[in-house]
Chain A
Amino acid sequence: MTDTTLPMPRPGARIARAFDHGTAFIGFLTAGDPTIEDSERFIRTMLDAGCDLIEIGIPFSDPIAEGPVIQEADLRSLQAGTTTDTVIDMVARLRPDTEAPLVFMTYYNVAFGYGLERFFTRCEETGIDGIIIPDLPYEEQAEARPIANAHGVALLSMVAPTSQERLRAIAGQAEGFLYVVSSLGVTGVRDTITTNLAPILQTVHAVTEIPAAVGFGISTPEQAAQIGSEADGVIVGSAIVRLIAEHGGEADGPLRDYVTSMVRAIRPVDAKAGSDRNAE
């Protein structure tokens, strides 16, 4: 059922690497929180500790899909003077040192306001593999996808517990990886995830070869292990951002420990996770 007539080269081809050695651990942080230099170092640390893919949040003034933890991080970052340009420049500094897939997560007005052509040109120049735009649903993607793809950037899609009959259509045209939203509501740590993900993941896997990663609400190794047993990847955002909020510029150690524990939980046999994928 999968569409095999994708343009060459396949946009975001590097994203597949995150999933080629077992369940992927995907970490999110808000770029520029507390400073852009800290973010650059944190990303290197997270990759070194075994993150298979990093979602780099370009902060937005009004992130309507985020809970308080990421809202506050966006605010701190913007107040510290972060701009789309300073985030892209940071990626440009990182890129020569890593082949790990890196994707942006931001709201549509950030890309739209920058100019879509100019934005995706800069993504291509700096080696960004994909972009997640939570307020650009399936019906509205046609205006951005051709531009993103022309610059080799995958426009990632999201599905939610409410997607129902939309699920097959969205999964069918997904590229990079499919972001499966675990629960109703906004991002943020949840004690329990009550959605029955199995039928969603079965439908997705029946329709597409693209891996499916689950996010929203996952924070503990136990949750990661449980979700990771069903999904191709586990996405963690708020728990990481909360560590950064607590430790500020000193978050390197806590981040390393946390990522290590999460990777161990989802890939118990992968002892040397990440160490061969990220140079100094």
Chain B
Amino acid sequence: MTTSLPQAPASAPGRFGPYGGQYIPETLMTELHRLAAAYEEAQADPGFTDELHRLLTDYANRPSLLYAADRMTADLGGARIYLKREDLNHTGAHKINNVLGQALLARRMGKTRLIAETGAGQHGVATATIAALFGMECEVYMGEEDTIRQALNVYRMELLGATVHPVTSGTRTLKDAINEAMRDWVSRVDDTAYVIGSVMGPHPYPTMVRDFQRIIGDETRAELLERTGALPDAVLACVGGGSNAMGMFAAFIPDETVRLIGCEAAGRGADTPQTAATLATGRPGVFHGMKSYFCQNAYGQIAPVYSISAGLDYPGIGPEHAWLAETGRAEYMPVTDDEAVDAFEYLARTEGIICAIESAHAVAQARRLAPTMSPDQTLVVCLSGRGDKDVAAIARYRGKDLSDD
């Protein structure tokens, strides 16, 4: 008989029902096993968890506020609305929660170089930030199209000492940035950690990123129980790959009374080809290391997708979301560009908060949902990021040019 490695059963770690897995070139498999083992060890090591907690508190400004959006609540006339203010974290989004975890792990594994993909630039900025803090080398892959949409974040990354590679292959957006980051990783797996920015990719990433983001849901749950004595009736979050949503949902999955609502980017409409609403328009497939849902044609070619939001402009979704959708535990709603831009402006004028266009997708869904609920019910929106980076693009969308000349 020959030596044999265990073949993964459907219930293996890294599987969510049939979704997840490790569909990645052989060159990376040893490293993925090493990463999964290192992550498991680190979780059990107080030296690691204490250091992560210290950085989240002292550097990233956690816990983030749970803000009662009273004017929005009064205006919509239904459920009491709370905003989980991940936009107030250092670097302006939830991304830093995950990057701190992965970068600490990379350091523990002896890596000296961090690479990352980025869509809106928030994950790239968070990775560049922590690389600076830890004295590590940092290279970020970003679709050329997104470097134009999010020029401000490109310069932020450069200020932080990172090198940004505009990716000119394919649709020149997030999907292509991930392709290039994987190609980099497969070439320099020895000294390089690939800091994936969402609950996607091969195992252990979807689990690890969810765990690092779970602090969003854990804080929300504890804080709301303390303030209201009850769990929320619904939690809402935008979903591209789905990390802020997964972090929020994770704390509430066993609480069956809590509706979990993911808001997908419908672009110009889920019934048009210019959409990124994966669960609404895609089907099961295997790409970027995972089995999940993907926007694709009849031959399994990954479809070009579109959203005004660079952070949600992705043809797939994390595998745990695919499973939550299929089992019905979570619901996923498409939100169009128009609805998201309206919500972006609405939140600014109603609450004085300029949120990321990504997060505005969840705000838009809250505007639809809250009036259908009663005043004794509560709804929490994860405000995953701040919107400074989007101001110029929203102005353009409204026909205003903010350029200096």
Residue positions of A touching B, CB distance < 8 A: 1-3, 60-62, 64-65, 67-68, 71, 75, 78, 83-85, 108-114, 134-142, 157-166, 168-170, 172-173, 181, 184-186, 207-208
Known: A134-B25, A137-B26. Contact between A2 and B189, CB under 8 A?
no
Q: Which residue of A lies closest to B300 (CB)?
A: A113
Interface 9-mer from B57-65, B283-291, B335-343 = B283-291
Interface 9-mer from B104-112, B178-186, B241-249 = B178-186
Known: A62-B302, A113-B300, A114-B300. Contact between A142 and B24, CB under 8 A?
no
A65 to B289 Cα, complex, angstroms: 12
CB of B14, distance to nearest CB on chain A (Å): 10
CB of B19, distance to nearest CB on chain A (Å): 13
Interface 9-mer from B3-11, B145-153, B231-239 = B3-11
Knowing that A112-B286, A113-B285, A162-B27 are A-B contacts, what are 11 other residue pairs whose CB atoms are under 8 Å apart, sorted by A's residue number? A109-B300, A137-B23, A138-B29, A139-B8, A139-B21, A141-B7, A158-B25, A162-B30, A163-B29, A173-B4, A181-B26
A172 near B23 with CB under 8 A, answer no
A60 near B301 with CB under 8 A, answer yes
A61 to B179 Cα, complex, angstroms: 11
Residue positions of B touching A, CB distance < 8 A: 1-8, 21-31, 169-170, 175-176, 179, 182-183, 186-189, 284-289, 294, 296, 298-302
A182 to B84 Cα, complex, angstroms: 50
- Contact with B299, one of A68, A114, A165 (Cβ below 8 angstroms): A114
A142 to B18 Cα, complex, angstroms: 13
CB of A74, distance to nearest CB on chain B (Å): 10
Number of A-B contacts (CB under 8 A): 141
- State the 9 A-B residue pairs at the shortest beta-carbon distance, nearest first: A113-B300, A172-B2, A185-B187, A160-B27, A109-B300, A142-B7, A61-B301, A61-B302, A169-B5
A246 to B2 Cα, complex, angstroms: 46
A207 near B22 with CB under 8 A, answer no
Q: Which residue of B lies closest to A164 (CB)?
A: B30
A170 to B4 Cα, complex, angstroms: 8
CB of A10, distance to nearest CB on chain B (Å): 16
A168 near B29 with CB under 8 A, answer no
B287 surroundings in chain A (CB, below 8 A): 62, 109
A164 surroundings in chain B (CB, below 8 A): 30
Known: A65-B186, A109-B294, A137-B24. Contact between A207 and B300, CB under 8 A?
no
Known: A135-B24, A137-B26. Contact between A169 and B299, CB under 8 A?
no
A61 to B27 Cα, complex, angstroms: 21
- Residue of B7, B188, B296, B300 most packed against chain A (CB within 10 A): B300
CB of A135, distance to nearest CB on chain B (Å): 5
Known: A2-B2, A64-B182. Contact between A108 and B26, CB under 8 A?
no
Q: Which residue of B lies closest to A67 (CB)?
A: B183
A159 near B175 with CB under 8 A, answer no
Known: A108-B286, A186-B187. Contact between A113 and B296, CB under 8 A?
yes
CB of A217, distance to nearest CB on chain B (Å): 12
B30 surroundings in chain A (CB, below 8 A): 162-166
B29 near A139 with CB under 8 A, answer yes
- Contact with A160, one of B7, B26, B296 (Cβ below 8 angstroms): B26
A64 near B27 with CB under 8 A, answer no
CB of A21, distance to nearest CB on chain B (Å): 28
CB of A120, distance to nearest CB on chain B (Å): 14
A110 to B301 Cα, complex, angstroms: 7
B300 near A166 with CB under 8 A, answer no
A7 to B2 Cα, complex, angstroms: 16
Q: Which residue of A lies closest to B182 (CB)?
A: A64
Known: A65-B25, A135-B289. Contact between A140 and B189, CB under 8 A?
no
Q: List 13 A-B contacts (CB under 8 A).
A: A61-B301, A61-B302, A64-B183, A65-B25, A109-B287, A113-B300, A137-B22, A137-B23, A163-B29, A169-B2, A172-B4, A185-B27, A185-B183
Q: Which residue of A lies closest to B170 (CB)?
A: A62
A140 to B175 Cα, complex, angstroms: 23
A136 to B22 Cα, complex, angstroms: 8
A60 to B169 Cα, complex, angstroms: 13
B23 near A136 with CB under 8 A, answer yes
A138 near B5 with CB under 8 A, answer yes
B299 near A110 with CB under 8 A, answer yes
A162 near B299 with CB under 8 A, answer no
A135 near B25 with CB under 8 A, answer yes
A138 to B32 Cα, complex, angstroms: 13
Known: A138-B26, A139-B8. Contact between A109 and B285, CB under 8 A?
yes
